[in-house]
Amino acid sequence: MKLPFFSVVVSLVLTSVLFSPARAQESAVKPNRTVLHAARLLDVKTGRTSSDRAIVIESDKIVSVGPMSEVRRSPGDRTLEFPNATVLPGLIDAHTHLTGDPRDIGYQSLGISVPRATLKGAHNARMTLEAGFTAVRNVGAEGYSDVALRDAINAGDIPGPRMLVSGPALGITGGHCDENLLPFEYHVSAEGVADGVAGVQHKVREVIKYGADLIKICATGGVLSKGDNPQASQYTLEEMKAIVADAHRLGRKVAAHAHGAQGILWASQAGVDSIEHASYIDDAAIAEMKKNGTYLVPTLYLADWFMEHAAENHVPDFLLVKAKEVMPAARKNIAHAFAGGVRVAFGTDAAVYPHGLNAHEFAVMVKLGLTPLQAIQAATVNAADLLGWSDKTGVVAGGKWADLIAVDGDPLQDVTTLERVRFVMKGGEVVKNEYSDKP
């Protein structure tokens, strides 16, 4: 029996990953314990840095953290030495699109099939993990390609970060999350389109049926879409309340894409768990978000990369016009929101710019008013809380996943050191190690 062409391609890709010599060698040696000896260990909750610390790992979990002098060595231990590095928890990106690519914006996106996007996602997942992001929240993907990617990573078929995924984003007819590039005669609507209370309730249940861990909605218009206004509200307050009620009852959180102030306000009032972008956030929205404990997930660095590379990526003029208006406004308003004390979780919108550059977001957050520690907390303890994973990750402590990174220098003094992660461990397995490995 002949296999479909796509199945053959996937089989060859997975075979090359699964049976590479490096992976075979890695699988052959399974130490009883791994001991990370860190010159400096950053406590991301307090900002204190401890010296000469040992992180003891068994299987995929941290079992203890303490002075290296107190560790009782065993013959089967593997010791990883970091004599000049700072160790901290694996980073979390709460807003990414692993199956997306910056070259596929505007009309170019129409030529990308779901299978092609999924295979791109496998590449992007590895790039993201090697950049130090051991967990992500994927907020929007066509054809449930992010569900397939998550499942492949969880099964060990391909390397990548831990993923929570939304599947298709929910949006109104003709809104930011619809397909507005094709004319009427194609009769095309995006798979997440739903209108009215009954319609959005059905769509929430549908995306959960097909594997969504969370719900992504478009509360306002957007920038990289045709025919909509980023400041205009799209879903009504009643529709968003219905979405949140069903999602929360079914154990899923809700992330709301929202640029305009009214949409931000309504989304927070409806009970969403996070506001993405928030370009035109105002005092009323800030106050509502603080009252409700709604997280702000700003996506800021993308403006620098997007505008610099717009010409080579053939970004259409109708998108550039919006970008030139929205992106500068976002920085001013987000800085005001930071000063206002909203809860912040780290997010990038990677796919608008290349995956693997996620950590460039930190410097912009600091430039707009956060301290380096606050920016790091946004990508660790805060993001873990937003994902509902505080009991699993976000800090270096006994009982947590052994998701760790190491960098040269002190990220509290120079947050850009996080752009140059030299060691990555996920679940006790070394993904990347540019330091000496001492068995």
pLDDT of 297 reads 98
Q: What is the 3-state secondary structure (H, E, C) of the chain?
A: CCCCHHHHHHHHHHHHHHCCHHHHHHHHCCCCCEEEEEEEEECCCCCCEEEEEEEEEECCEEEEEEEHHHCCCCCCCEEEEEEEEEEEECEEEEEECCCCCCCCCHHHHHHCCHHHHHHHHHHHHHHHHHCCEEEEEECCCHHHHHHHHHHHHHCCCCCCCEEEECCCCEECCCCCCCCCCCCHHHCCCCCCECCHHHHHHHHHHHHHHCCCCEEEEECECCCCCCCCCCCCECCCHHHHHHHHHHHHHCCCEEEEEECCHHHHHHHHHHCCCEEEECCCCCHHHHHHHHHHCCEEECCCCHHHHHHHHCCCCCCCHHHHHHHHHHHHHHHHHHHHHHHHCCEECCCCCECCCCCCCHHHHHHHHHHCCCCHHHHHHHCCHHHHHHHCCCCCCCCCCCCCECCEEEEECCCCCCHHHHHCCCEEEECCEEEEECCCEEC
CATH 3.30.300.20 fits 91-387, yes or no: no
Query: What is the pLDDT at residue 31?
Result: 59
pLDDT at 30: 54
Positions marked catalytic: 216, 349
pTM for the model stands at 0.91
pLDDT at 180: 79
Q: What's the CATH code, domain 31-89+394-438?
A: 2.30.40.10
| pLDDT digits (tens), the chain, 439 positions | 444 544 444 444 444 444 444 444 444 445 579 999 999 999 999 999 999 999 999 999 999 999 999 998 888 899 999 999 999 999 999 999 999 998 888 778 888 899 999 999 999 999 999 999 999 999 999 999 999 999 999 999 999 999 999 999 999 999 998 887 788 988 888 899 999 999 999 999 999 999 999 999 999 999 988 989 999 999 999 999 999 999 999 999 999 999 999 999 999 999 999 999 999 999 999 999 999 999 999 999 999 988 888 888 788 888 889 889 999 999 999 999 999 999 999 999 999 999 999 999 999 999 999 999 999 999 999 999 999 999 999 999 999 999 999 999 999 999 999 999 999 999 999 999 998 654 4
pLDDT given at position 9: 43
